[in-house]
Amino acid sequence: MPHFLDIHTTDKPALRGMIDQARAMKEARNGLPKATPDADQPLRNHMVALIFEKPSTRTRVSFDVGVRQMGGQTMVLSGKEMQLGHGETIADTARVLSRYVDLIMIRTFEETVLQELAEYASVPVINGLTNRTHPCQIMADILTYEEHRGPIKGRKVVWSGDGNNVCASFLHAAGQFGFDLTFTGPEALDPDPEFVALARAEGAKIEIIRDPVEAVAGADLVVTDTWVSMHDSQSNRERRHNLLRAYQVNDALMAQAKPDALFMHCLPAHREEEVTNAVMDGPQSVVFDEAENRLHAQKAVMRYCLGL
């Protein structure tokens, strides 16, 4: 079953094919009104279930619009509307949904929920985000970088801040797409050593450098993410701000990167915290291209899963 659960569990040629197809589909839409269906309707007569246990803006809208543009229909379900893992086992939910829909995307908390859903579903399952990884975001990021600067292979990417789920998927991508990644952040928030080891095993140069100025030197791409989540307590928010303040991406830090380096953030951003307005709205920022490319990259992911 061609699930899309993580970047490191997807074949390299398939990943490259998805990026190339996403770019071709985006170019085919140039000049068309946003609501216009694609000329190619590969999801015609297909139903896609979009499950959200965690709130979402970009993931929900981009998947929903993507399915509709490709001629399919969506069923959007929240955790409150389902008995996922509560009144009914995840395995049984997977079996039942597979009788109704052709594809399942889930945005959830625990990776075990995603894995069990995929194990028992008889239709493809896409990881829309877990607390552990966020592969769809990184597919959009690769697409965005290559649109602006050409192949990402051999480039230097610097992640500044918290070694979270988005950072984890960047590490997976480093191994699969052949770029190097430097993490700069406090030791308490280092990325999972397992993911670092996976990337290194694929030949990627992975470094952990505490000094952000040293880390960003010569970077082709600088990436960050929010320091706190919506579920963090006030005391944890203060702790994280104290830990991460030195890793804010600002003009002084970007000046250490290459002159043509890009800046990315998966959004939503807490402006003037992890990144300044000057960088977010500056000439090196591609954050809104990055957000748009969630749509195109995920359309390619869905086509891959359905063999279309």
220 is catalytic: no
294 is catalytic: yes
225 is catalytic: yes
Catalytic residue among 8, 266, 284, 305: 266
Catalytic residue among 3, 8, 60, 107: 107
Catalytic residue among 60, 134, 155, 296: 134
Class of residue 31 by CB neighbours under 10 A (exposed 0-12, middle 13-18, buried 19+): exposed
134 is catalytic: yes
Catalytic residue among 225, 248, 265, 298: 225
Catalytic residue among 240, 265, 294, 303: 294
237 is catalytic: no
266 is catalytic: yes
Catalytic residue among 58, 69, 136, 137: 137
Active-site residue set: 107, 134, 137, 225, 266, 294
